[in-house]
A and B are shown apart, each in its own frame.
Chain A
């Protein structure tokens, strides 16, 4: 989900060099202190091994501005008559998948689409609130494709690929045109033209929005375009179908094994190419702002078939979510970050005040910690900083609200000052629906009692590794949207997820996939082919296994425990000891899962426990890889904060000399260890610099 305030990527006044306030200045080889100084802990503990370096070979050479037009020209064309002989499978029908299905269908390819929901309109893209960025420069305020590109690379903390980001910025304008033509009701000004918002630290207005429901409106637009193609017969839509395996034949992705979630039937679908648009994996944390059904299975199965997983540890944690209220909690709800524009964040100075009614705590006993630590940005510091500081004060025992586990997890977001300054009506006008939502969920009136917030997992920047064509290292397997790793580096800017999903689906993939398809149709694959049979058999065996264990613990109890481990050790703050511990814990949990899980019912009908069990099994494996990735990356960047790599005053410290690369992980086999492939990141246009918000 996106929300209404763009994270401030870099202070407009950010110094080029690390802040002078941060001695010992990390000149060239940064000097974080590690217990295992010479060898990476992951290697030392035999958790992974190094492999060959990789690189993107598809982005054409030349000036960054012309790369995309060159690539569009060089990508071979497919004769319209041949398109209907080519079949493309698309898994996931959110913004990235739905828009790709519609566009490929319009072009005349045979598209087979799959989604686990009962309709493509339910995909979790729908929950994005704030907006979508586009370098339209309708406000004539100095915005440009180049500036959006620049902001995105910097916002990603220099861990994304320049060529991809530039393309994203340049097609962003087409997205708005397309959506308006589809009837997406963007907010407009009285003159009838589109309105833009300026968010947080970004000094240009480039965010298009439809009240707090931008994701919904964009998804419905893509959904309608998709339904139009379904009616036209170019797209075959399979709802309530879950992809359980990728079929790779002769080294190429040629199909998927899916389960019809209503009849339980395991089906084989074969095609010339497979597109995964199956979203992110934030649910590995159990509690996140993701939808209940969001899962990693599609991409994880592809990973096990050989696709590299890029930067799995990059997770975005959003600071303004409604806190957990108890053990039964199933899901976290995001509130727009715009609340930080007028709300003040604080906790009590004294631990003994934490249980008190906040209105009874005197002003001098309150610690407005963000304003104290970051006087320049105050409550508007970027997401990762706001999140981490909230964790720090709660870890310090000064959190508020009900104790969850061993301590209170929440901080106050107080509108008292705003209410005095602006009047209740003005506050309601600006934030009414958010405050109402808070009241509905918590039962507390935010006009009287300060709200409580706590960070929650929100978005995963990592995903399957892809090249400039959005093709993974398995030929014929394309990955779009949140499912790939490509455009956000180590941290995603607000209002950029929607942009990437639609850019990939409408404009990028349809152009790049045709280069692959132009070499087709590929040799016909029979359902009796050994690789197909093997894939289907393994799916059936897994289902049978899950149903036959008949242990003592429910799937959810395993998922909760995994989430707890991930949150504690691979959440906002990661340390070597914690991550090593997490790997051990996850391995133990995985072992227990396959011995002791209890899944009732049959494989032949709608069985939600079985669906969940398969997803949790994959989350367990992913969780381990995330920890290993976090362990090996001994630097702090974007959403990844390693306690060992921080400045003296506790800020994230990147280590560009050692870690300016994409970590693309190869599946090492059931008993083997993952293999790390590095794709070096070269910055020709945006110069590396350290963030500072003091």
Chain B
């Protein structure tokens, strides 16, 4: 396959950046998208040009480190992570535009690498159950209905990649936050801190500069783990309940 890549190059956070065009031959369908970038980088280094910086780690779709805007879609045309996107999803001769996640809460560090530490700070604000090591009762002390446990698991599948923010026209992080609030809110262990958690997390989310949700659904469509918009509904409900409880 032969492809043309238009890649966002930006030397640092302060640089204004722009798209650079590269032509690549000898691309095969079996290659993953990130391997194409590897090939590009090998070529760039050989020709004395600095390689394109991009994040990736596990390359098996679970760590959430990779994430690129490919042809205007978060993680590209398939419902998967960027590392699990393969070239057979593209056609020979295609021009592919590659940009970093764009959100002011995710500042670009270099080229395609962005800083997603805002997500960590949202979790810091309340995305946990306060239990010190050693303080736990026996695991069977509190039964959890299977239905709730399964639903909690489905919400906990979030990998924190940021595709929801990247895809959202408002650059909102509600799907990420809703997933965590739903996960912990469905479990009996999560109840004592439920009101405080949602209020603190949403405040932190807003404080980080993410936009508000307008229920468009781009986030759920982009989510590689297919987390549905249900979790945003649950998040809204939990916040409303917290308000009723006087938070």
Contacts and interface: CB of A to CB of B under 8 A. Distances in A.
A331 B64 CA distance: 16
Interface stretch (A249-257, A350-358, A604-612, A671-679): A604-612
Given A228-B124, A228-B130, A440-B80, A216 B136 contact: no
Interface string A170-210: 00001011111111011111111110000000000000001
B113 to A, nearest CB: 6
A183 B153 contact: no
Interface in B134-187: 134-140, 142-146, 149-150, 152-153, 156-157, 159-160, 183-184, 187
A289 B99 CA distance: 28
Contacts of A191: 143
Interface stretch (A17-25, A117-125, A306-314, A485-493): A117-125
Contact of A122 (B31, B64, B124, B127): B64
Interface in A663-684: none
Contact of B28 (A210, A326, A556, A601): A326
Contacts of B30: 325-326, 442-443
B12 A183 contact: no
B143 A331 contact: no
Contact of B146 (A176, A188, A213, A330): A188
B56 A262 contact: no
B84 A227 contact: no
A138 interface: yes
B139 A176 contact: yes
B149 A223 contact: no
Contacts of B146: 188-190, 192
Interface in A79-124: 99, 102-103, 106, 117-124
Given A211-B153, A600-B45, A600-B49, 14 more contacts: A99-B133, A117-B65, A119-B160, A123-B63, A183-B152, A192-B143, A193-B140, A216-B62, A224-B127, A225-B128, A292-B57, A292-B58, A606-B110, A609-B45
B92 interface: no
A333 B62 contact: no
Contact of A330 (B34, B50, B144): B34
A119 B116 contact: yes
Interface in A575-628: 598, 600-601, 605-609
B133 A510 contact: yes
A513 B70 CA distance: 48
B133 A122 contact: no
Given A210-B153, A598-B45, A181 B127 contact: no
Given A178-B136, A185-B156, A440-B86, A126 B124 contact: no
Interface of B: 11-12, 28-32, 34-35, 38-39, 42, 45-46, 48-51, 53, 55-65, 78, 80, 84, 86, 88, 109-110, 113, 115-117, 119-120, 123-125, 127-140, 142-146, 149-150, 152-153, 156-157, 159-160, 183-184, 187, 189-190
Contacts of A99: 133
Contact of A328 (B31, B84, B115, B142): B31
A291 B189 CA distance: 32
Nearest to B157: A213
Contact of A194 (B51, B113, B139, B190): B139
A239 interface: yes
B131 A192 contact: no
Contacts of A328: 28, 31, 35, 38-39
Contact of A127 (B60, B84, B135, B144): B60
A293 interface: yes
Given A181-B136, A182-B128, A185-B183, A118 B156 contact: no
A575 B58 CA distance: 32
Contacts of A228: 124, 128, 130
A227 B124 contact: yes
Interface string A555-576: 0110000000000000000000
Interface string A117-153: 1111111101100000000101000000000000000
12 contacts: A121-B64, A124-B58, A182-B131, A188-B144, A192-B143, A223-B123, A328-B31, A333-B59, A334-B60, A441-B84, A443-B88, A606-B110
Nearest to B127: A224
A368 interface: no
Nearest to A223: B123
Most chain A CB neighbours (cut-off 10 Å) among B59, B127, B133: B133
A554 B53 contact: no
Given A122-B65, A181-B129, A227 B50 contact: no
A213 to B, nearest CB: 7
Contacts of A230: 120, 124
Contacts of B117: 118-119, 239
A220 interface: yes
A227 B59 contact: no
B12 A138 contact: no
A118 B115 contact: yes
A180 B42 contact: no
B62 to A, nearest CB: 5
A231 B125 contact: yes
Contacts of B133: 99, 102-103, 106, 178, 225, 506-507, 510
Contacts of A325: 28, 30-31
Contacts of B128: 182-183, 224-225, 227-228
A20 B175 CA distance: 62
Contact of A124 (B48, B50, B63): B63
A216 B189 CA distance: 19
A304 to B, nearest CB: 26
A186 B152 CA distance: 9
A185 B153 contact: yes
A329 interface: yes
Contacts of B153: 185, 187, 210-211, 217
Contacts of B38: 328, 330, 556
Contacts of B131: 178, 181-182, 225
A169 B94 CA distance: 55
A543 to B, nearest CB: 16
Contact of B12 (A239, A554, A557, A605): A605
A107 to B, nearest CB: 8
Given A217-B153, A228-B128, A554-B42, A192 B144 contact: yes
Nearest to B135: A181
Shortest beta-carbon contacts, A-B, top 9: A192-B143, A181-B136, A224-B128, A185-B153, A325-B30, A231-B124, A177-B136, A331-B59, A180-B139
Contacts of B35: 328-330
Nearest to B34: A330
Contacts of A289: 60
A507 B63 CA distance: 25
Interface in A291-327: 291-293, 325-326
Contacts of A102: 133
B196 to A, nearest CB: 12
A423 B28 CA distance: 34
B90 to A, nearest CB: 13
Nearest to B59: A331
Contacts of A120: 120
Interface in A445-477: none
Most chain A CB neighbours (cut-off 10 Å) among B28, B78, B128, B129: B128
B166 to A, nearest CB: 15
B110 A605 contact: yes
Contacts of A609: 45, 51
B227 to A, nearest CB: 13
Given A292-B56, A328-B35, A554-B42, A227 B140 contact: no
Given A177-B136, A178-B136, A224 B129 contact: yes
Contacts of A237: 120
Contacts of A441: 32, 84, 86
